[in-house]
Amino acid sequence: MTTPKSVAGRLFTLLSVFSEQRPSANLSELSRSAGLALSTTHRLVNELVEWGALDRDDDGRYHVGLRLFELAALSPGSLGLRERALPFLEDLYEVTHQNVQLAVRDGLEAVYVERISAHNAVNVVTRIGSRLPVHASGVGLAMLAFAAPEVQELAVRSPMRRFTPKTITTPAALREVLARVRRDGYAISDGQIELITLSVAAPIRGEDDSVVAAVSIVVPQDVDVAGLVPAVRTAARGISRALGAPSAVRSPERGASD
């Protein structure tokens, strides 16, 4: 790893040490992972703690602080979206009592910005703030299918990580699925991330009618999705309407191919 020269670069390198797999780290681990001298790490970490970007527990381990969560909530990708979407996510949850998720696209990744789960719902790998590649996730496919042609081509040409034997990994398969999503107005990701689950997702449009997010429901493999598709699409249409999307006022019949 090349050590950043600027102070900002070193701060970002320290913060990037934290992940879902490593939610905490001590000073030595931060120093080693960031490629920084221990004295430099100690000074920068103290500044991050003072600012609220990191918290230190009684065992001397550091965790991401709430200040970063506050800033992340101001991101254009989630500012206003979560608040307007939450009533529809709650309605979808009440109807299904399954995992309900809201995501935005960042490059070729779906970033999950909200999630509601029941205690007895099937276990999922996602959490708020986590990412999954667009080719393998329901929300990712729902957003990618309506992304700019150059974004779709980049996804088709890029390596596709295989999670299970069902994961889409070829350009031809991805093109076929994206065409189907554009035709149907929703996406189904069946066992692509975990073989025990499948998700139904639908795109959410913003005030310029472009797709800005997606909503999904994740259920066990043996659940019949036929009754879930209308519920997910209704939630997506409601959120789109709340965001001011012109097409959201059309009837479901006219918008069936979104």
Task: Please give the residue range of the domain that contains residue 19.
Answer: 7-65
Work out how many domains the chain is built from and give that number. Answer: 2
Last residue of a domain, one of 20, 41, 65: 65
| CB neighbour class for 253 (10 Å; exposed up to 12, middle 13-18, buried from 19) | exposed
Is 80 exceeded by the pLDDT of residue 5?
no
CA–CA distance, 120 with 97 (Å, rounded to integer)? 9
Interval 8-65: pLDDT, tens:
888 889 998 988 778 899 999 999 999 999 999 999 999 999 988 899 998 899 998 8
| C-alpha neighbours within 13 Å on the C-beta side of residue 245 | 25
Query: Strand 24-25's sheet: what is its strand order?
Result: 24-25, 62-64, 54-56
- Both 99 and 226 in one domain: the answer is yes
* 82 within 8 A of 114, measured Cβ to Cβ: yes
Q: What is the mean pLDDT of the chain?
A: 88
- Both 120 and 232 in one domain: the answer is yes
- Both 34 and 144 in one domain: the answer is no
In this structure, of 120-129, 142-151, 223-232, the range with the lowest mean pLDDT score is 120-129
Domain assignment of residue 205, yes or no: yes
For residues 54 and 2, which has the higher predicted lDDT (pLDDT)? 54
Q: What single-letter amino acid sits at 153?
A: E
179: domain CATH number is 3.30.450.40
Please tell me the pTM assigned to this model: 0.74
For residues 78 and 18, which has the higher predicted lDDT (pLDDT)? 18
* 218 within 8 A of 99, measured Cβ to Cβ: yes
pLDDT for res 254: 38
Is 50 exceeded by the pLDDT of residue 129?
yes
Domain assignment of residue 45, yes or no: yes
Domain assignment of residue 178, yes or no: yes
Q: What is the mean pLDDT of residues 104-132?
A: 86
Q: In the chain, what percentage of residues exceed pLDDT 90?
A: 65
Q: How confident is the model at residue 256 (pLDDT cuts 50, 70, 90)?
A: very low
Domain assignment of residue 40, yes or no: yes
- Both 136 and 166 in one domain: the answer is yes
Kindly write down the DSSP assignment for every residue of 41-71, as one continuous string: HHHHHHHHHHHTSEEE-TTS-EEE-HHHHHH
- Both 58 and 144 in one domain: the answer is no
- Both 32 and 100 in one domain: the answer is no
25: domain CATH number is 1.10.10.10
Q: How confident is the model at residue 173 (pLDDT cuts 50, 70, 90)?
A: very high
Q: How confident is the model at residue 253 (pLDDT cuts 50, 70, 90)?
A: very low
Domain assignment of residue 1, yes or no: no
Domain assignment of residue 75, yes or no: no
Domain assignment of residue 61, yes or no: yes
Q: Which of 142, 137, 98, 138 is nearest to 116 (CA)?
A: 98
Domain assignment of residue 128, yes or no: yes
Query: Strand 99-106's sheet: what is its strand order?
Result: 131-133, 109-116, 99-106, 211-220, 197-205, 187-190
H/E element holding 200? strand 197-205
- Both 127 and 245 in one domain: the answer is yes
